[in-house]
Structure 1
């Protein structure tokens, strides 16, 4: 339980970029309609940040 509380508290304090449902919808639409879209398509600011640091 303490671990779960710690994780939840960390999520609540997170002020970094987030992904919205619109970001996901746009990425899915691009994947379906753009033949030149990459196989891995980040959806949202947090995914783009993660991809750049990974």
Structure 2
């Protein structure tokens, strides 16, 4: 990325928890899905619960 270019910011925090169909909600959905997938994989590998 060129140092001359400015990065557009819409004024919203990307990590904020926002309900509805929003980019922030999709980020949190992805994070939750990764946590669940990791839990299921570890449960299967380690035979827990």
Give the structure-1-normalised TM-score: 0.30
Considering only CA atoms, is the larger Rg found in Structure 1 or Structure 2? 2
Higher relative contact order (CA 8 A, sep 6+): 1
Give the structure-2-normalised TM-score: 0.32
Tell me which protein shows more helix as a share of its residues: 1
